[in-house]
Chains A and B, each alone.
Chain A
Amino acid sequence: MVFHLLLVAIGGFLGSMLRFWIANKLNKHFIGTWIANVSGSILLAIILKLFLVHSLSEEVWLAIGVGFCGAYTTFSTFGSETIQLIQAEKFRTATYYVVSSFVVSIIIVGIILSF
């Protein structure tokens, strides 16, 4: 249990810092969140696929899948940014942001997992 937590913690440490770094590199923070959420979903799908065919250990799954991908991607920032876009009456941007985040990542994850 403690060892498993440690693996999740290491992944979470790196994942959250990478997400912060990407957001800082871009002027518009929500584009950074978009990139993190879509790329993190793709990485998680690849890791899960490898884990399910038993070519990955549980330790790698916990560190990269649960820890890194879990922390690198975020839902709270996504929600908060969408609300801020709506408050600024940028309804079209808000809709594109929500729909494209889910549609793009779900389609790519679907393709990866169906192999």
Chain B
Amino acid sequence: MKTYLAVGIGGVIGSCLRYILSLLFLSDGFSTFPWATLTVNLTGAFLLPFIMFHPAIKVRMHPLIGSALTTGLIGSYTTFSTITVEVVHLFQTTLFLAIIYLLVTIFGGLFCSFLGYRSAQKFAKEEM
């Protein structure tokens, strides 16, 4: 039960950060290229595996804080539903941008996740 609350509180912070960032990008709804979504997703894709696999963070952090930060905060900071809706919306107006957006999200996102994972492992080796 405590873990659920921790995830929920992390979710509040992550969602608000994502919303504030979307306001800063001043993207008026779905009409322009979705820079805000791309930014949260790529940065979040790096941060999640980095925190999850970083040896020092893993050991020193309370499990509740860990769940709040990973599943809650970063999980909610990034989003999937907005991507698919934006892709379909772009598809109806500029097909080229829709394909570019989808490919950059998938391959850029996986690359960022890989980078986060490898950076954390680098710390693991240095600590040993």
Contact = CB atoms under 8 A, between A and B. Distances in A.
A37 B113 contact: no
Interface string A80-115: 101100010000000000100110011001100100
A58 B88 CA distance: 21
User: How many A residues touch the partner, as a band?
Assistant: 35 or more
Interface string B79-121: 1111111011101100000000010011001101110110000
A101 B88 CA distance: 14
A16 B72 contact: yes
B26 interface: no
A5 B19 CA distance: 8
Contacts of A48: 85
A87 B52 CA distance: 15
B38 to A, nearest CB: 10
Interface string A8-22: 110111111101110
Contact of A13 (B9, B83, B85): B9
B14 A12 contact: yes
B10 to A, nearest CB: 7
Contact of A77 (B4, B16, B71): B71
Contacts of B8: 13-14, 16-17
Interface string A27-51: 0000000001100110111001000
Interface in B56-93: 67, 71-72, 74-85, 87-89, 91-92
Interface of B: 3-4, 7-12, 14-16, 18-20, 22, 41, 44-45, 47-49, 52, 67, 71-72, 74-85, 87-89, 91-92, 102, 105-106, 109-110, 112-114, 116-117
